[in-house]
Amino acid sequence: QQQVKQSPQSLIVQKGGISIINCAYENTAFDYFPWYQQFPGKGPALLIAIRPDVSEKKEGRFTISFNKSAKQFSLHIMDSQPGDSATYFCAATNSGGSNYKLTFGKGTLLTVNP
Amino acid sequence: DAGITQSPRHKVTETGTPVTLRCHQTENHRYMYWYRQDPGHGLRLIHYSYGVKDTDKGEVSDGYSVSRSKTEDFLLTLESATSSQTSVYFCAISGGWAEAFFGQGTRLTVV
């Protein structure tokens, strides 16, 4: 059972364009939704995260949009740069649960062409 | 960077042999996790620990066992390695309220 569905699997964007990655979840107990960025040969690193009490969170060129009723959230990368080329994972968890663990989407390979 | 060290970073082993991967943290975090990463599957949880000697299974635990005798160390053992266990293995740690920090990964090849 895949609790977090991520799309697209891969994405190619021109420099300066907007990259959009979407995720949908099933478990209504989830209350923390982070995005991780992974470069080749490295471990994933937290990029930005949101809790469902807000509909949007922005940090620099990165924005998370959250739709609680649709159980969907998305990552927008504005003015995409070649250095943004990486694999992006969305994740979700119930932070108030007794055993804290993240459920990940399958990842999106983003390529930003110069 | 969070203090997480995975060892070894690379390993080639033969089918049927036991293999142990080690994760060491210096952050005193309660939670530790082992994930495997495979193309098309993303990050899948193998086992996790919520305290010393407290562990539980993840979604892909068959063929794997873990142990945590100290807060700082979490060991993953492949009891009898198979080719399907060729993967990149990541350890992660968390204080349990928000961010999880990942290690650099161990690339395991079973031949």
CATH of the domain at A65: 2.60.40.10
Measured between CA atoms, the residue of chain B closest to residue A87 is B42
A31 φψ region: left (φ > 0), alpha (ψ -120 to 50), beta (else): alpha
Three-state SS at A99: coil
Cα A105 to chain centroid, rounded: 8
* C-beta atoms of B42 and A34 within 8 A: no
- The predicted model gives A54-83 an average pLDDT of 96
Instruction: Judge whether B40 is closer than 8 Å to chain A, CB to CB.
Output: yes
Is the bond preceding A8 in cis, omega lying within 30 degrees of 0? yes
Residues of chain B positioned with their CB less than 8 A from the CB of A98? 50
Structural domains in chain B, sorted by start: 4-110 (2.60.40.10)
What percentage of residues in chain A have a pLDDT greater than 70? 96
* Least confident among A1-15, A89-103, B58-72: A89-103
* C-beta atoms of A99 and B104 within 8 A: no
Residue type, A93: T
Residue A89 pLDDT > 60: yes
pLDDT digits (tens, 9 = 90+) for B51-66: 999 999 999 999 999 9
- Give the count of Cβ contacts less than 8 A between chain A and B: 60
Q: According to the model, what pLDDT value does residue A99 have?
A: 66
Three-state SS at B88: strand
Beta bridge partners of B75: B22, B67
* C-beta atoms of A49 and B58 within 8 A: no
* Least confident among A51-65, B6-20, B29-43, B95-109: B95-109
- The predicted model gives A83-98 an average pLDDT of 88
Among candidates A43, A44, A99 on the partner chain, residue whose Cβ is nearest the Cβ of B56: A99
Residues of chain A positioned with their CB less than 8 A from the CB of B89? none
Structure tokens at B46: 């193998």
Q: Which residue has the higher pLDDT, A99 or A49?
A: A49
pLDDT level of residue A90 (50, 70, 90 thresholds): very high
Q: Domain containing A53: what range?
A: 4-113
Q: According to the model, what pLDDT value does residue A111 have?
A: 98
* C-beta atoms of B48 and A102 within 8 A: no
* C-beta atoms of A107 and B42 within 8 A: yes
Among candidates B31, B42, B103 on the partner chain, residue whose Cβ is nearest the Cβ of A105: B42
Give helix then strand counts, H and E, for chain A: 0, 11
Domain count, chain A: 1
